Structure 1
Amino acid sequence: MPWHVEGTYFENCNCDMACPCTLSGLTAPADNERCNLALAFHVETGEVNGVEVGGLTVCVVADTPALMSDGGWKVGVLMDAAASAEQAEALGAVFGGQLGGPMEGLAPLIGEMAGMESLKMAYTDDGRIHQVQVGSAVDIVVEDFVSPLDSTGQGVKVSGVGFPADTLAAGTSSTARVDVFGMTWDNSGKNSYSAPFAWSA
């Protein structure tokens, strides 16, 4: 059955800025020996297998080798506690790649599924500052980078990326703490990307 989800997303990792993994389609190594990242997706509207999933948030955390295409990723999924069992199952299938779509292509790179937990989530996005708080497990605030010399205020964008959207706004984090599934880090001051996203299959 066809499905679609759309909304806004942002991510943070421990690269210094403009993560080379994303810019190279996972073919260039990260800035550090391991890549520690979190991606937060807020679904504004969507339907999966006849189930409405709008208004819910999903957060994916991962620890990967510097060269992400090497595989062996450790991945955990955090589900919005506001989701019903039916909604959680539907979103879990989308973000786990079982229903096709963008996440399906990442599935062969995952070496360990650390699990899925349902936690209370607070997600805000004013178009430039993006924030998610997931219980005591995740607390991230990022801001899209706009040069003081940029009179348009449009900020720095990279295009032709493809995943999770074709054009991403580059930025940096002010807060970026993760402590869940045995993965713990603080990526404050490090790279971020953000964008609207629209997926279907």
Structure 2
Amino acid sequence: MTNVPAWHAKGDWFDVCRCNVPCPCSWAEPPDDDYCEGVLVWHIRQGRYGDVPLDGLNVVGLGTFKGNVWAGTHSEPRLGVLLDDRADDRQREALKTIFGGQAGGWPARFNEIFGAEMVGLEFAPITVEIANDMSSWRAEVPGRVRAAANALSGPTSEGKPPRMENLPGAETGPGQIGTQGKATADAVDAFVFKWERVGKSSKHITFDWSGPDAS
């Protein structure tokens, strides 16, 4: 890819969606009722695009589709994106290039798989909080998005969040670790999207990407 510098970004991704627990997408199956709508959140713990630092920046995606993304049988995919307004001009360009797929790596592959119609791209204040023990995660874009969840627990979990490895449908790519949760907030009023609910599926999955030659 011409003029794309070496880059690397690692951190946390999570979603909240309308499916019952667990989300079938994690298992490369179609969503409940064959329809998905949800919030996707990326928090970059460590990142660099060439000499541009990306540490601490956030991205929020709002999306819908019908069918099975992983089988290539989905339709009507739509996506709106909110990028961290704390980013300076060079960081903004880096975020747009990476998450738009032009920088290669897993985001390029996922964009190719999803093939969404972009319904909006804006910069906004984004707050993300993730518990160190992965027991909870949350994100907020004031007046537009609230997404939060607690990791699942039960009588045999011994107080440890459940871990998922080698997921057949990991939105952040192969080799990442997932934690299944249940949403405590899922409210959206942005672009063409509007919904509000609680108690449905959520999962946290790590990401570790690089480019332009990695996939």
Fold match (TM-score > 0.5): yes
8 Å Cα contact 2:14-2:202 kept in structure 1: yes
SS in 1 for 2:179: strand
CA distance in 1, matches of 2:97, 2:142: 22
Percent of aligned pairs sharing the same letter: 27
Q: CA deviation at 1:154?
A: 2.5
Q: In structure 2, do the counterparts of structure 1 residues 35 and 93 end up closer, same or farther at CA, with 3 Å as the change threshold? A: same
Q: CA deviation at 1:59?
A: 0.7
Match of 1:47 in 2: 48
Q: TM-score, normalised by structure 2?
A: 0.85
Q: TM-score, normalised by structure 1?
A: 0.91
Q: CA deviation at 1:71?
A: 4.2
Match of 1:35 in 2: 36
Q: Does 2:155 correspond to 1:154?
A: no
8 Å Cα contact 2:135-2:161 kept in structure 1: no
Deviations 1:5-32 (A, max 9, x none): 11222111111011112211xxx21102
Q: Does 2:207 correspond to 1:188?
A: no
Q: After the TM superposition, which parts of structure 1 deviate over 3 Å for at least 4 consecutive aligned residues?
A: none
Q: Output the aligned Cα RMSD.
A: 1.6
Q: Does 2:120 correspond to 1:115?
A: yes
Q: Residues 1-201 of structure 1: matches in 2 within 5 Å?
A: 1-24=5-28, 28-68=29-69, 69=72, 70-108=74-112, 109-126=114-131, 127-151=134-158, 153-161=159-167, 162-164=170-172, 166-201=176-211
Report the residue type matching 1:198 in the other structure: D
CA distance in 1, matches of 2:198, 2:67: 19
Q: CA deviation at 1:156?
A: 2.1
SS in 2 for 1:104: helix
Q: CA deviation at 1:122?
A: 1.1
CA distance in 2, matches of 1:169, 1:185: 24
